[in-house]
Structure 1
């Protein structure tokens, strides 16, 4: 079904959907790895229209502009997401025709189309959805010459060529800005500041604890059962000796034994966690000799399971975390750290969410000559001058079709964020730099191996233009009017800091906003 569509690398052609399938899987033609699965289910289509709807969908997926009428639409290749939404409107149209006793498009008259327009106009939904429901009729008519005679709408254009906005007596609102309300600068400032705290101060402790968490979780009974990982074989009495050594270390360090609280409130030793530490089965610790060792040591029991990884980060001169990170909290904090990386990269680069989520380890390069951080990634959106495809495309200059942005004015030095592990990399780089905001948080962002190259010489306020490069430039998305580049304000103090010199970056004023217009 994806005959003329580019496919994800590694796609097995034998797994692709065929025309006879009741559900067509379209995900192999969607390159955004962060997206959910895309498919079209034909089961709700009424039987008389099933074959025709499948044919139309196949044409939308694979056919070029040859033979397609340009009276209603400009010829272009539709994105997979557009086709899936178009299919829903096509189903509504065929359901309405079936209720009127029509079994094919060839039985539809101009009067039927007029009645359908009246029906859609009276539907309680948004104006945009009413336009889309009428637009699918025009699209079906545009493909009439490619369909069998019995499946063609009348030769006269729907509604005799009258524009949909005239039929509905309303125009679709054209928004120059984002539909999502802007986040207040005070909120953005605090969010970015604490995200940078996670990236620059808390990251090393969180990643170390999460590494230990992963090692221990691999030793759990559930992981062994699912991955066929056998427990190491020990000589008789060796496990008891190892348990004695472990508890002796706990005593020497003044550490209590990990504990867990029962439903009745009783606090008991967490044998499951101790079994993970010793890399053994939990049942092995029930042996009388092992229980005797626990009783002999008589160590205090604490609720929770603190990990061995130390907390070294400081917040206002004090440890940022009260004691070692608990086993149950490591995954939670790792998720927060991953979110902080996403916020830092998105804010300081202006990339779209999908572009950030598609970054992966190794995507960061540093231009020491110009003091810049370069990102290698993919563009998912295209400019107005390029075909409407959704596969990766490298391009130089501003991402959307508009005049290039002027070179930004110089700005004062910045505290740069140069360390940020993400979902796919658990250690952060120890390097640090200053002078301009960088987003090396992307050094560990999840995603696939980048194929095209993108750089960000003009993305951040105060960056200097670089020499021409084969890489494409990631810049803040301009709207229909070119935006100016204004240095971000550095005003609000860092969390927990009384120094006004360490400021959180505030977004620029609304008249010079560089946020992306999605």
Structure 2
């Protein structure tokens, strides 16, 4: 009797031409309608994905050589629906997972197709002939083409997956084992570099750009939102009226009366821009008169209104109040029917900027937020209001118990803390979308276009909208003669969607209270981040970015102090001698790649950490045990917005003394033009600053004197 073959749960059955690309148990409801059949020329990967902000990727089999297509289809189908054996994963490090994300699948198959194209050029037409020797040659062929070691490593892992998943198909090709899987990858990788990537690689937005950009975003949310939402509702009511109005004598009479009044007074005709051309605002006219479009079309022909509209273009004023103000004056005389959709688009963009910048969330986390994510908190037992918390999902690092990627994300263990401008932005978005919907749901925010895809706005769309928002805001600044509110181009290029998080970390680390004009207290934000779980998960928190920016700021401060001392400058203060010794070791920072790990290690080294506080005209050589800036316990970094002049960590330089005297002179000038009580206080402050400068001159020391 023949022994029964034991069923192997990791080997998938052979699919039929009409088998679904994504098997039912893996399909996510958000994109289930996009699932394709095995024989289709394009395989959408969206049915695997429940991340509302991710792109809907697909595998295009036309890119694959015909001789390899059937082999690669079967292995790719197994990659999509199967998973690697636990016994295979053990001992192969963290780069391999039993299942990977849709982005990983797309990139992996793309690399398989690249291999197939190379094999075809070598005269090989089946994976069965791609043995270990051939894979070695391919690995050596790729070596000069890599831009980074990380990308090279990912390429090798994808080819290891090809070999591994081939063995799990119902019809294995027998492709050879990659030599790097057995002997190690170093011979197939470029040399390691110290360059860090990811979030640490992007440049923070310049203060000159971020300041006015945030001002306009907050202005749109706090001052203009009511007007914009009312104008949108009214424009939609007029459109609905135009769509549903039937031809009646009353409508015809109202239409004729309206047009006759415009003609008699030579008033410009209501027009809109349509694909770059000026045309009569038909929906607006039908909406305000109640006439049908058929009736309007007849009048247009009879009166030649189409041509007159191009000669006498005019506005389409809406009957909604204007409550928003800029510098105490209304920001519009009337809102216009033709601009309602654009203003709604700018309103959504402003909310995205506020949320991205003032929470520290990643763009995908912002786009994954839903209505109701930030409820009003219940008062505490003492009757005081508690902080608003944002409950959302994280996607970048979401994995299950086996370490496999979860496209649906997972709710953060610690919610984000929301300050008031963030809460206001969320409340505006909740007025725009249905209850429970994504705050950036494309069905609400894509006002001029319709697409079959579901989910949130895409990153590319938001990048374009942010640039459009800048153009619009600058036009508004010009109209209202507020040149100081113009948003200049960022020196490092487009603003994008991913630089806000890095910029927030930069400001928290380097500018304590630095943007007071924005009414955003960065010192408070630093406290919130660290002590209240703003980024509490060690593997995900923005505090890692803050640490990196803090160490970079310290490196700049120590280097500047080192150069000043080398040029003969002096320092004073309780920590002056410590600062001289620390500055002598400034070269330790040179050439160091500052990652989250190295940042934590350097912050823990109190001898190396000197912080600049330009607002207080001091340096802080921080020692936790003697810091006076923390009232509620010791921390690894100072609270520079609570600097105490008598603190034992303070250092002053010659530059600070000069700045103190300049500031004192400025206060004296203000005092001369102020009423006596105010003037007396200003003069007192000026004398105090000069006293600090004089004390520096008396007690300053130089490196030579310190050694003596």
TM-score computed with the length of structure 2 as normaliser: 0.51
Give the deviation of 1:132 after TM superposition: 3.8
8 Å CA contact retained: 1:346, 1:356: yes
Give the deviation of 1:23 after TM superposition: 1.8
Q: Corresponding residue for 2:408?
A: 391
Cα deviation 1:271-324 (Å, max 9, x = unaligned): 6632232243344146689989x9xxxxxx762212222211111110112x21
Cα pair distance change 1:182/1:4, threshold 3 Å: farther
Residues 208-223 of structure 1: pairs in structure 2 closer than 5 A: 208-219=230-241
8 Å CA contact retained: 2:41, 2:62: yes
Give the deviation of 1:202 after TM superposition: 0.8
Cα deviation 1:317-355 (Å, max 9, x = unaligned): 10112x212222221111111100011111222222122
8 Å CA contact retained: 1:398, 1:474: no
Is 2:187 aligned against 1:166? Answer: yes
- Once residues 397 and 83 of structure 2 are traced to their aligned partners in structure 1, the CA distance between those partners, rounded to angstroms, is 19
Q: Corresponding residue for 1:89?
A: 111
**Aligned mate of 1:425, from 424, 431, 443:** 431
Give the deviation of 1:213 after TM superposition: 2.0
Is 2:245 aligned against 1:231? Answer: yes
- Once residues 130 and 383 of structure 1 are traced to their aligned partners in structure 2, the CA distance between those partners, rounded to angstroms, is 24
Residues 44-193 of structure 1: pairs in structure 2 closer than 5 A: 44-66=63-85, 69-70=88-89, 72=92, 74-123=96-145, 128-147=150-169, 151-155=173-177, 157-159=178-180, 161-171=182-192, 173-175=195-197, 177-193=199-215
Cα pair distance change 1:426/1:131, threshold 3 Å: closer
Q: Secondary structure at the residue paired with 2:393?
A: coil
- Once residues 309 and 58 of structure 1 are traced to their aligned partners in structure 2, the CA distance between those partners, rounded to angstroms, is 56
- Once residues 200 and 170 of structure 1 are traced to their aligned partners in structure 2, the CA distance between those partners, rounded to angstroms, is 52
- Once residues 139 and 237 of structure 2 are traced to their aligned partners in structure 1, the CA distance between those partners, rounded to angstroms, is 62
Cα pair distance change 1:160/1:76, threshold 3 Å: closer
Give the deviation of 1:425 after TM superposition: 3.3
Cα deviation 1:461-517 (Å, max 9, x = unaligned): 5559789xxxxx996363544697998989xxxxxxxxxxxxxxxxxxxxxxxxxxx
Q: Corresponding residue for 1:496?
A: none
Which structure's relative contact order is higher, taking Cα pairs within 8 Å and 6+ residues apart?
1
- Once residues 197 and 214 of structure 2 are traced to their aligned partners in structure 1, the CA distance between those partners, rounded to angstroms, is 27
Q: Corresponding residue for 1:478?
A: 544
Q: Corresponding residue for 1:334?
A: 344
Q: Corresponding residue for 2:270?
A: 259
8 Å CA contact retained: 1:113, 1:158: yes
Q: Corresponding residue for 2:650?
A: none
- Once residues 113 and 30 of structure 1 are traced to their aligned partners in structure 2, the CA distance between those partners, rounded to angstroms, is 32
Cα pair distance change 1:149/1:77, threshold 3 Å: closer
8 Å CA contact retained: 1:105, 1:151: yes
8 Å CA contact retained: 1:207, 1:427: no
Q: Corresponding residue for 1:280?
A: 291
Q: Corresponding residue for 1:374?
A: 389
Q: Secondary structure at the residue paired with 1:324?
A: coil
Give the deviation of 1:149 after TM superposition: 7.8
Cα deviation 1:220-259 (Å, max 9, x = unaligned): 5xxx5xxxxx43242xx312443477689999xx995643
8 Å CA contact retained: 2:42, 2:61: yes
**Aligned mate of 1:17, from 16, 36, 51:** 36
Q: Corresponding residue for 2:370?
A: 360
TM-score computed with the length of structure 1 as normaliser: 0.68
Cα pair distance change 1:272/1:204, threshold 3 Å: closer
8 Å CA contact retained: 1:360, 1:449: no
Q: Count residues in correspondence.
A: 427
Q: Secondary structure at the residue paired with 1:69?
A: helix
- Once residues 71 and 340 of structure 2 are traced to their aligned partners in structure 1, the CA distance between those partners, rounded to angstroms, is 54
Q: Secondary structure at the residue paired with 1:59?
A: helix
Cα deviation 1:395-424 (Å, max 9, x = unaligned): 41389xxxxxxxx9xxxxx86454336567
After TM superposition, the structure 1 stretch with the greater mean CA deviation from structure 2, 34-43 or 63-72, is 63-72
**Aligned mate of 2:315, from 298, 304, 311:** 304
8 Å CA contact retained: 1:363, 1:377: yes
- Once residues 145 and 214 of structure 1 are traced to their aligned partners in structure 2, the CA distance between those partners, rounded to angstroms, is 58
Cα deviation 1:122-141 (Å, max 9, x = unaligned): 43755554444443332223
- Once residues 84 and 180 of structure 2 are traced to their aligned partners in structure 1, the CA distance between those partners, rounded to angstroms, is 23
- Once residues 19 and 427 of structure 1 are traced to their aligned partners in structure 2, the CA distance between those partners, rounded to angstroms, is 37
Mark the runs of 5 or more structure 2 residues left unpaired by the alignment: 1-20, 306-311, 380-384, 443-453, 457-523, 534-538, 546-595, 604-635, 643-708
Q: Secondary structure at the residue paired with 1:146?
A: coil
8 Å CA contact retained: 1:208, 1:427: no
Q: Corresponding residue for 1:446?
A: 441
Hey, which of these two has a bigger chunk of helix by percent? Answer: 2
8 Å CA contact retained: 1:105, 1:150: no
Cα pair distance change 1:368/1:489, threshold 3 Å: farther
Cα pair distance change 1:304/1:158, threshold 3 Å: same
8 Å CA contact retained: 2:43, 2:60: yes
Cα pair distance change 1:4/1:341, threshold 3 Å: same
- Once residues 170 and 417 of structure 1 are traced to their aligned partners in structure 2, the CA distance between those partners, rounded to angstroms, is 44
- Once residues 44 and 177 of structure 1 are traced to their aligned partners in structure 2, the CA distance between those partners, rounded to angstroms, is 32
After TM superposition, the structure 1 stretch with the greater mean CA deviation from structure 2, 87-96 or 359-368, is 359-368
Rg larger in structure = 2
Cα pair distance change 1:398/1:478, threshold 3 Å: farther
Q: Corresponding residue for 1:3?
A: 23
Give the deviation of 1:375 after TM superposition: 2.5
Cα pair distance change 1:290/1:60, threshold 3 Å: closer
8 Å CA contact retained: 2:148, 2:190: no
Cα pair distance change 1:169/1:24, threshold 3 Å: closer
